[in-house]
Structure formats: structure tokens, C-alpha cells
């Protein structure tokens, strides 16, 4: 019984998903969108509340169901991120999917994917990691293809599915090699048996590389990032917001847990396998490629997609700097960044959703003068963009600062320097959108008031904006939460 | 008993055939079949290593993989069906409306 209580954050979301389906089955003809949204919002809110409650009341680390799942500070921290993104996206979807079909299926897929991501945060063996990744991925494929009569949506779903299926096959083959080398699939058991039987280290090395490849897909890191721009552009914007924020956070906690607990650097480097170098290369490539490609985009959503690849690169710095002396600080900084990123990136994508709702075109030019027509949300968008760039309009400034300083402190000044150069470059394309919003002359024939004010999207954007802004003056609760989570993960 | 290296070689060969299929085939259904090959290469490894190590963990995981592969194919076939309707064909190189 107490085991199930520990899983409350995931169970809340899962039961909301099933409730949506049951409700839709019983009231087939008279399904109301308001009730569907309400179930999703209550489910994700309960999940946030129970995660915070468990974090305050729970002893540091508990493993349940025969060590298959672990509930600790970091799993609860990421449950909060994932559920917050789910909450924002559920609220915003209310207006967005109103004219569309299959609303109940949309919400249940969204919540099922969120439950899978929550499980990824708690996975303590490669089996659960794989099952949870699939539970998160399969509904996401369907969500991206949600507009089934739209060519762009179909194409992006196809690309997402093809690369996702390929990377999960690579991940599972990698796990099979790790199992062959160690004889076990639990994370702690793997690290113990690497120490005891250092034979077959060749198999183990290939296995680790392939598992990193599978994780790179989830975190949109090079070399498995190709799907991200297409999937984000073709999917409906609330889904892009969900996948780019929640799915990435879930991928990162799984990467942290696998690499830190199953393959601790001091253990695997004793048999000559040093994954830190691979991650350092990936971090540099990911942030440079993401930011340079973002600078070349004309399409706003694609720009945000590449910027989200760039942010994956910043977070990877945390893993790459692990061989230094400040393990807790660098991982904690990465977690902080993912938390703030979850709010500012979701907010930015939801602003795009709002623009799509108003039939604003996809490129920078089409956003001209939106600032004078919808000042409130445009201010919010400006806050998101500058915070993503690392200017002090939101917590993004502090998290980036802590992250780069931690990397310098751990002896990786060059990683921090490349990160800082990329941040400076990112200012160019974020400012370009801000300029379109506020400085450029408005497009005269665009009439947004005729479509009414979409309350749900407004509320979601404003919540995200308030959290982003408040995380600047009230940074210490976020930082303490992240550091506590990182501390448990490292020790 | 057959040495474990034979199993590893066989599964590596199957995995490579699957990967080759993924990279070269243009038909989306062939792509799915290639993914199945890659997953089953992992299954083969799991079962062989399970016997080698004398525990059942690997065999149980291979059951999970079988179930998940079926679920993945279900979603994949759905997406390919939609692809057929929108692009009147299942050639994966035809769906190129999104470009940077």
C-alpha cells in the first residue's frame, strides 16, 4: 500500500488519463470539452501537489517493487516539472482543440504520455526505463500526428515515429549488451557487477554508447536531433510545447540516473570506459548546432525547435562536467535549468499556439506588430524569449549563470566558454522575434479581436510568465529543491 | 553447448541487417520490418545471455520487448495509413513538405 502512495504523482496522471477515456465511453454523444479539461487539470495539479508533499515528508531514497522503481528527490523534482508542463498544456489545449475532433483521445494520450515521462523519472532498471520510454513515446507519436488530414502533421509524425522507433531499437540492443556483460538490469546491480567482473568490457562499452544514443533521442541531442524541428513544426503547438519541455526533462533525468547510478565514472573509468568524453563532444555539438541552425530560421516555430536543441546542449554540460570536482553543483544546475526551461519554453510555444489560433502566419514577418494588438501576451513572450537567451527577465538568467559557473568550477572552463558564446548568438534570433513583435509596423489586415480572447491559452501563458519572472527574485526555493535532488542522486 | 560468441555474432548480424534496411529502404512498411529485426536481435541476445548468466531477467525483458514491439507496430501502421491517405503512397522520401 505504501508503495502505491509513493507513486502518487504518476498515479494521479494515469488515473486522470483513464478517467477521460471512461467518461468519453459513457457519454459518447455528449462529451463536454470543459469536463475533459477539468479532469486533466485536476489530475496534473494533484500530481504536482503530491510530488511536493512527498518531497517534504519522505525519507531520501526509497526503492519499491523489488528495486524496479526508485522514489527520491530527483524523481519527485522531475515529476513536478513534467506535471507542471502537463498542467499548462492541458489548460491551453482547451481553446486550441475546441474546433477539432477526438478531444477525449487527445487528452488521454497527453496524460498517458505524461504518466510515462513520470515513470521515466522513477525508473531504476533498464527494463522499466525502456517500458516507460515507450509509454511516453507511443502516445507522443499519435499526438504529433493528431491532425490526420494535414500533410505537415502527418509528415512530422512519420519522422518522429521512424527516428523514435530506430532509437528505441538501438537503446534496447544496447541494454542487451549491457545485460550480457553484467548479468543484471537494475542500475545499482549493474554498477556493482562492473566492479566485480571487469571482463567483457568491450561489450559493455558498445552497450553504454548505444544506450546514450537512445537517450540522445529523448533529449534531442546530436546525433538524434533530426526529428525535433520537423516534429515541433508539424505538430499542433500545445503538443510541441509538451514534447519539447516535458519529454526532454524526462529524457534528461533518465540519462542522469543511468549514467550516474549504473555507470559511475570512477567505476567505468577503472576498466577504461570513459563516457564523459562522449558527453562533452555531444554537449558542444548539440549547443552549437542548435543555436547556429536557429539563427538561420525564418519560421518562428522552427527557430524555437532549434533553440530547444541548443538548450539540451546547455543541460548536457551538467553531465559532461561530472568528471570534475563539483558533481552535485553541476547536476543541480542542470536540473534548475530544466525546471525554469520547462516554464519559459512551454510559455513560448503556447504563444505560438495563440498566434496560430489567431491565424497569424508562421514566419517572423507575420508576427510584425502583434505587440500593439495583444500587449499582455506579447510582454509575456518577451519575458520568455529574453529569459531563454539568458537575460535577467526571468530565472533563465540565473540558471545559466549557475550552470556555467559550476562548469568553470569543475575545471571545464572551455565548455562554459562555448556555452557563453552560444548564448550570445542566441540573443540574435530571440531579439529578432521581439523586434518583430514590438518595433516593426503592424500588418493592417490582421484582425485578432474577431476571434475572441482564448481564455485557456491566455491563462496558461500568464501562469508560465509569472513563474518565469518570480523565479528571478525568488530563486532560492527552486535552487534548494534542485540542489537537494542532485545531492540525493550523486550520493 | 553452443559458445556465446556465436549468439552475439548472429544477433549483431541481424541487428546490422535491420539497420541497413532502415537506412536504405524507402517503403515505410519495410522500415517497420527492419525495426522489428533490430528489436528481435536484442531479444536473441537477451535469451542467450539469460542462459549464460543463469538468471531469468533477460528472458522476462524479452517478453516485454515482444509486447512493446507489437504496440509500436500498431501506432506505426496507424501513422503509415495516414501517410498513405495524405501523400497517396508510403514512400518515406515523398513526405518532404517541411524543410529548413
CATH code of B24's domain = 1.10.287.3510
Whether the per-residue pLDDT at A130 is higher than 90: the answer is yes
Report the C-alpha gap between A94 and A460 in whole angstroms.
10
Whether the per-residue pLDDT at B100 is higher than 70: the answer is no
Report the C-alpha gap between A467 and A162 in whole angstroms.
36
Looking at the domain assignment, is residue B61 inside a domain? yes
Contacts of A175 in chain B (CB under 8 A): 42, 61
Res A57: pLDDT = 85
Q: Do A176 and B64 touch (CB under 8 A)?
A: no
Across the range A131-150, mean pLDDT stands at 93
Between A263 and A113, residue with greater pLDDT: A113
Which chain A residue is nearest to residue B37, measuring alpha carbons?
A169
**Confidence label for B99 from pLDDT (cuts 50, 70 and 90):** low
Report the C-alpha gap between A51 and A78 in whole angstroms.
9
Looking at the domain assignment, is residue B94 inside a domain? no
Cα distance from N-terminal residue to C-terminal residue, chain B: 55
Across the range A455-462, mean pLDDT stands at 92
Does B39 contact chain A (CB < 8 Å)? yes
Whether the per-residue pLDDT at A450 is higher than 70: the answer is no
Does B31 contact chain A (CB < 8 Å)? yes
Q: Do A234 and B53 touch (CB under 8 A)?
A: no
Tell me the nearest-neighbour CA distance from B31 into chain A, angstroms: 8
- Cβ-based burial of A62 (10 A; exposed 0-12, middle 13-18, buried ≥19): middle
Res A237: pLDDT = 92
Q: Do B87 and A151 touch (CB under 8 A)?
A: yes
Looking at the domain assignment, is residue B14 inside a domain? yes
Structure confidence by residue, pLDDT tens digits, A344-403: 999 999 999 998 888 888 888 888 888 888 888 999 999 999 999 988 888 889 999 999
Looking at the domain assignment, is residue B58 inside a domain? yes
Across the range A200-227, mean pLDDT stands at 88
Collapsing DSSP states into helix, strand and coil, what is residue B14?
Answer: helix
Does A184 contact chain B (CB < 8 Å)? yes
Contacts of B43 in chain A (CB under 8 A): 176
Enumerate the domain spans of chain A: 275-491
Looking at the domain assignment, is residue B100 inside a domain? no
Q: Do A175 and B61 touch (CB under 8 A)?
A: yes
CB-based contact A136:A120 (threshold 8 Å): yes
Q: Do B82 and A180 touch (CB under 8 A)?
A: no
Structure confidence by residue, pLDDT tens digits, B16-63: 999 999 999 889 999 999 999 999 999 999 999 999 888 899 999 999
Does B14 contact chain A (CB < 8 Å)? no
Across the range A189-197, mean pLDDT stands at 84
Q: How many residues does chain B have?
A: 100
Does B46 contact chain A (CB < 8 Å)? yes
Res B72: pLDDT = 94
Does A213 contact chain B (CB < 8 Å)? no
Looking at the domain assignment, is residue B33 inside a domain? yes
CA B61 remoteness from chain centre: 15
The C-alpha angle with vertex A363 and arms to A358 and A369, in degrees rounded to 5, equals 60
Count of A-B CB contacts under 8 Å: 133
Contacts of A156 in chain B (CB under 8 A): 98
Q: Do B49 and A149 touch (CB under 8 A)?
A: no
Res A101: pLDDT = 84
Percent of chain A with pLDDT over 90: 54
Q: Do B79 and A161 touch (CB under 8 A)?
A: yes
Give the total number of structural domains in chain B.
1
Report the C-alpha gap between A373 and A209 in whole angstroms.
50
Pairing of the two strands A62-64 and A69-71: antiparallel
Across the range A451-465, mean pLDDT stands at 88
Looking at the domain assignment, is residue B99 inside a domain? no
Does B98 contact chain A (CB < 8 Å)? yes
Structure confidence by residue, pLDDT tens digits, A50-72: 999 998 887 678 888 888 999 98
Contacts of B41 in chain A (CB under 8 A): 173
Tell me the β-bridge partners of A71. Answer: A62
Amino acid at each position: 500500500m505504501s508503495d502505491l502512495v509513493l507513486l502518487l504523482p504518476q498515479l494521479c496522471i494515469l488515473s486522470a488519463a483513464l478517467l477521460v477515456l471512461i467518461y468519453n465511453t459513457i457519454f459518447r454523444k455528449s462529451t463536454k470539452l470543459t469536463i475533459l479539461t477539468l479532469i486533466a487539470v485536476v489530475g496534473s495539479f494533484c500530481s504536482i501537489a503530491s510530488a511536493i508533499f512527498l518531497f517534504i515528508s519522505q525519507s531520501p531514497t526509497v526503492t519499491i517493487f523489488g528495486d524496479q522503481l526508485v522514489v527520491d528527490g530527483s524523481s519527485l523534482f522531475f515529476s513536478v516539472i513534467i506535471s507542471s508542463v502537463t498542467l499548462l498544456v492541458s489548460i491551453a489545449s482547451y481553446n486550441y482543440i475546441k474546433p477539432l475532433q477526438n478531444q477525449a483521445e487527445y487528452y488521454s494520450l497527453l496524460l498517458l504520455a505524461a504518466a510515462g515521462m513520470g515513470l521515466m523519472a522513477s525508473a531504476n532498471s533498464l527494463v522499466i526505463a525502456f517500458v516507460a520510454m515507450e509509454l511516453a513515446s507511443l502516445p507522443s507519436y499519435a499526438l504529433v500526428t493528431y491532425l490526420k488530414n494535414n500533410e505537415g502533421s502527418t509528415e512530422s509524425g512519420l519522422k518522429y515515429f521512424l527516428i523514435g522507433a530506430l532509437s528505441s531499437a538501438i537503446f534496447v540492443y544496447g541494454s542487451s549488451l549491457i545485460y550480457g556483460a553484467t548479468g543484471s538490469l537494475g542500475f545499482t546491480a549493474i554498477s556493482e557487477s562492473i566492479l566485480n567482473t571487469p571482463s567483457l568490457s568491450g561489450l559493455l562499452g558498445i552497450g553504454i554508447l548505444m544506450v546514450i544514443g537512445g537517450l540522445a533521442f529523448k533529449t534531442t541531442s546530436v546525433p538524434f536531433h533530426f526529428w525535433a524541428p520537423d516534429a515541433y513544426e508539424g505538430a499542433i503547438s500545445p503538443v510541441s510545447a509538451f514534447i519539447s519541455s516535458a519529454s526532454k526533462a524526462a529524457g534528461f533525468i533518465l540519462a542522469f540516473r543511468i549514467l550516474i547510478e549504473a555507470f559511475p565514472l570512477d567505476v567505468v573509468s577503472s576498466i577504461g570506459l570513459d563516457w564523459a568524453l562522449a558527453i562533452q563532444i555531444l554537449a558542444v555539438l548539440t549547443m552549437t548546432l542548435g543555436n547556429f541552425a536557429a539563427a538561420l530560421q525564418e519560421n518562428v516555430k522552427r527557430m524555437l525547435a532549434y533553440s530547444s536543441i541548443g538548450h539540451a546542449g546547455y543541460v548536457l554540460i551538467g553531465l559532461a562536467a561530472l568528471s570534475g570536482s563539483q558533481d552535485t553543483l553541476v547536476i543541480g544546475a542542470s536540473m534548475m535549468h530544466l525546471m525554469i526551461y520547462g516554464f519559459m519554453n512551454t510559455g513560448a510555444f503556447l504563444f505560438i499556439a495563440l498566434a496560430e489560433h489567431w491565424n497569424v502566419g508562421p514566419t517572423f514577418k507575420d508576427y510584425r506588430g502583434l505587440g500593439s494588438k495583444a500587449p499582455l501576451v506579447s510582454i509575456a513572450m518577451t519575458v520568455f524569449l529574453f529569459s531563454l537567451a539568458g537575460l535577467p527577465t526571468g530565472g533563465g538568467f540565473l540558471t545559466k549563470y549557475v550552470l556555467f559557473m559550476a562548469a568553470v568550477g569543475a575545471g571545464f572552463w572551455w565548455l562554459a566558454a562555448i556555452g557563453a558564446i552560444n548564448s550570445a548568438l542566441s540573443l540574435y534570433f530571440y531579439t529578432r522575434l521581439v523586434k518583430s513583435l514590438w518595433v516593426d509596423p503592424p500588418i493592417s489586415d490582421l484582425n485578432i479581436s474577431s476571434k475572441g480572447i482564448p481564455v485557456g491559452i491566455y491563462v496558461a501563458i500568464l501562469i508560465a510568465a509569472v513563474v518565469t519572472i518570480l523565479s528571478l527574485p525568488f530563486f532560492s526555493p527552486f535552487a534548494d529543491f534542485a540542489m537537494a535532488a542532485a545531492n540525493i542522486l550523486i550520493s | 553447448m553452443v559458445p556465446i560468441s556465436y549468439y552475439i555474432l548472429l544477433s549483431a548480424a541481424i541487428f546490422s541487417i535491420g539497420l541497413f534496411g532502415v537506412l536504405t529502404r524507402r517503403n515505410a512498411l519495410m522500415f517497420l520490418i527492419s525495426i522489428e529485426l533490430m528489436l528481435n536481435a536484442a531479444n536473441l541476445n537477451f535469451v542467450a545471455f539469460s542462459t549464460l548468466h543463469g538468471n531469468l531477467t533477460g528472458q522476462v525483458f524479452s517478453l516485454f520487448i515482444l509486447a512493446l514491439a507489437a504496440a509500436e507496430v500498431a501506432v506505426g501502421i496507424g501513422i503509415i495509413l495516414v501517410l498513405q491517405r495524405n501523400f497517396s503512397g508510403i514512400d518515406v522520401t515523398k513526405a518532404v513538405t517541411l524543410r529548413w
